[in-house]
Amino acid sequence: MAVRENLSKVSTLALRSRREGLAKLLPPLVEVLRGSLMERYLTCGKPYCKCARGERHGPVWYLSVTLDQSHRTGSTVPPGQVEQVRRWIENYHQVKERLEKISDINRELLRRQKNQDKPKKRAEK
Ligand SMILES: [Zn+2]
């Protein structure tokens, strides 16, 4: 988990422009992929293949995706797709990180708004 900046000292104007900047910098949302790319050594299933004796094939690139707490899926990635998959995964993390930052800013802005709306305790005249 990244260290969260303390936003309470940053001016509202700066927070708003920071939020604007974060939203502008988002990578194309159609080019995202959640998962991890890893190298794997596989068995082919042929009983007399060398891989059945422990000498597995590979490495091959493999995309592993967690679906929920007990389910995973994945598939091999051909060499020609590796760069694209890598970039899309990177985009996914960037989008997620920026959404998280925007969300932090919005929470801080909401807090300030709430404090402003509070009726002043000081009695007028
Ligand atoms: Zn084999």
Q: Which of 79, 101, 85, 80 is nearest to 34 (CA)?
A: 85
CA atoms within 13 A on the CB side of 58: 17
pLDDT tens-digit map of 72-87:
999 999 999 999 999 9
Give residue 78 CA to ligand 1 midpoint distance, Å: 18
Name the helix (H) or strand (E) containing 17: helix 12-24
Distance in Å, CA 60 to ligand 1 centroid: 13
Q: What is the pTM of this model?
A: 0.78
17-55 confidence digits (pLDDT tens):
999 999 998 999 999 999 999 999 989 999 999 999 999
At residue 124, the pLDDT reads 55
pLDDT-derived band of residue 122, with 50, 70 and 90 as boundaries?
Answer: low
Q: What is the pLDDT of residue 3?
A: 74
**What pLDDT does 10 receive?**
96
Cα of 37 to ligand 1 centre, how many Å? 22
Question: Ligand 1 mean position to 73 CA, how many Å?
Answer: 22
Helix 12-24 / helix 82-117 crossing angle, nearest 10 deg: 160
Which pLDDT score is estimated for 111? 96
Separation of 93 CA from ligand 1 center, angstroms? 35
pLDDT value at residue 71? 96
- For residue 27, say if its preceding peptide bond is cis, omega within 30 degrees of 0: no
Distance, CA 36 to ligand 1 centroid (Å)? Answer: 24
